[in-house]
A = this chain, B = another copy of it.
Amino acid sequence: MTKASDRAYDAIRAMILSGELAAGDPVREEALAERCGVSRTPIRDALRRLEGDLLIRKTDSQRSFVADWSLDDVGDAFELRAMLEGYAARRAARNMSAEVLEQLRACNAAIAAAISGRKPDVATFLDRNREFHALVLETAGSRRLTNLLTALIEQPVVWRTAHHYDPEAFQRSHSEHGDLLSAFERGDGAWAESIMAGHIRRAFHAYSDAHLGMKAAGRDAA
Number of interface residues of A (CB under 8 A): 28
A80 to B152, CA, bound (A): 15
Nearest to A49 among chain B residues (CB) is B48
**Does chain B have a CB within 8 A of A148?**
yes
**Does chain B have a CB within 8 A of A142?**
yes
**Does chain B have a CB within 8 A of A37?**
no
Nearest to A52 among chain B residues (CB) is B52
**Does chain B have a CB within 8 A of A222?**
yes
Known: A41-B41, A147-B151. 4 other contacts (CB 8 A): A44-B45, A76-B145, A80-B144, A83-B84
Could you name 21 residue pairs across A and B whose Cβ atoms are closer than 8 Å?
A: A41-B41, A44-B45, A45-B48, A48-B49, A52-B52, A54-B143, A54-B144, A54-B147, A76-B144, A77-B144, A80-B87, A80-B144, A80-B145, A80-B148, A83-B83, A83-B87, A90-B222, A144-B152, A147-B151, A148-B148, A189-B222
